[in-house]
Amino acid sequence: MEKTITDASAVCGLLGISYIDTDIVLDGGNLICSGKDKNAIIFCDKIFKENPRYTEKELIAELERLLETDKLIFIPTDPYDVYGHADGLVRFLNEDSVLINQYRMKDGDFHWRLRTVLKNAGLDYIEIPCKMANNTHYHQANGCYINYLQMKDLILLPVFGLKEDEEAVEQFESLFKSHRIVSLESNEIAHEGGVLNCVSWGVKNCRLPCKVKP
């Protein structure tokens, strides 16, 4: 598994991207940024367990320093997600609203805790389809539409040959009226544990302070 971990410093060097190195363990998929003036950033709370050398207070302070914001939001980690990445749970629609998955009834407690954290952070939420219940293993991401790839005025939306595909496309076309929505069959990628946001880097106007794991 370690041989597949991206050498972020080497990639940044090849692309001419400046970066700050740190000993903080932070998966690339566990950082969701609003990307605009408020610069709010969402993490799953597994980041605290992955950095035992820091107290919670110390870690928050160091993240605030590195990312140059005090608007950090820590959501609960999905107990059914072996990777625990925020980009499979929530994405910013705008500064005040996020998209989250529609959850199965057995996820009721987790869904309540997630909504509570978002509400306390002053964020509204919109639910989008999520059809991962039929996956054979927890690491598979087939049916996870929220892991789309957004590039300026284009959104690549994963589809999976499910009846929910059409609903997801229609909802995204309604939500992102200024974007072109292009659906992309993504079962092969999702079968390995991630979808389109997982296999990409967002670098415009973004500092990369951490060695990023896929």
Q: In the numeric block, which tokens belong to residue 174?
A: 């309604």
Predicted pLDDT at 210: 45
Residues 214 and 5: their CA atoms lie apart, in Å, by 6
Predicted pLDDT at 213: 41
Predicted pLDDT at 3: 64
Mean pLDDT, 10 residues at a time, over the chain (214 residues)? Answer: 72 83 90 78 96 97 94 93 88 94 73 94 94 77 91 92 95 96 92 85 55 41
Sign of torsion over alpha carbons 133, 135, 139, 140: negative
How many residues can be counted in the chain? Answer: 214
> Exposure pattern of 96-121 as b/e (b: 16+ CB <10 Å)?
eebbbbebeeebeebbeebbebbeee
Residues 56 and 128: their CA atoms lie apart, in Å, by 32
Predicted pLDDT at 178: 94
Predicted pLDDT at 166: 96
Residues 180 and 129: their CA atoms lie apart, in Å, by 19
Entry pTM = 0.86
If one counts every other C-beta atom within 10 angstroms of the C-beta of residue 78, the result is: 22
Q: Which phi and psi (to 5°) does residue 64 adopt?
A: -60, -40
Residues 98 and 92: their CA atoms lie apart, in Å, by 4
β-strand pairing of 41-44 with 32-33: antiparallel
Q: In the numeric block, which tokens belong to residue 129?
A: 């389809």
Predicted pLDDT at 104: 61
